[in-house]
Amino acid sequence: MRSALVAALIGLATGACNGGGSECGPTSGTVSRVIDGDTIELESGDTIRYLMVDTPENTSSVECYGPEATTFNAELVEGKDVELEYDEECTDRYDRLLAWVSVEGREVNSLLVERGFGCVLFIPPNGADREDEFDALEETARAESRGLWGACPENPC
């Protein structure tokens, strides 16, 4: 219990020292560039990879519904202020920050899955408390042939 309290206090102190950020990184920022359907770059230079969602590729190769996912993401966040929340692990193997991203009160991660622009990508421990929620969003999108589920001849995920 005492170590958890000390860790929480260190986290608060770290956040207070880096301009309102968390232990992982900034808690808000302006999106300067949309890299693809599930990755953005902030004006600060930080690259953010959305948690719990994987969209078809549109950078190194173009997969079915990749351009549509990138366009949808750009329409939601490009040039806008976003809020960031982190889970247990801060970064992935590419050193991108892993976050829940919200814009104008809407969470982008879940919107991408709900509207069929991406599939659930659960990499524990992040998202463990929301896995069922995201699975249900994907199941509904599949059942209703939303987005990639109606457009792509093969499962792109």
Q: Catalytic residue, from 57, 68, 114, 138: name it.
A: 57
| CA gap 84, 68 in Å, rounded | 23
Phi-psi bin for 105: left (phi > 0), alpha (psi -120 to 50), beta? left
Give yes or no for a contact between 61 and 68, defined as CB atoms under 8 angstroms apart.
no
> Rounded to whole angstroms, what are the CA distances from 9 to 26, 39, 97?
17, 30, 22
Q: Catalytic residue, from 68, 96, 130, 146: name it.
A: 96
> Rounded to whole angstroms, what are the CA distances from 31 to 46, 47, 53, 106?
10, 10, 18, 15
Active site residue 33: no
| CA gap 110, 102 in Å, rounded | 10
Active site residue 49: yes
Active site residue 57: yes
Angle at the Cα of 13 from the Cα atoms of 28 and 100, rounded to 5 degrees: 30
Positions marked active-site: 49, 57, 96
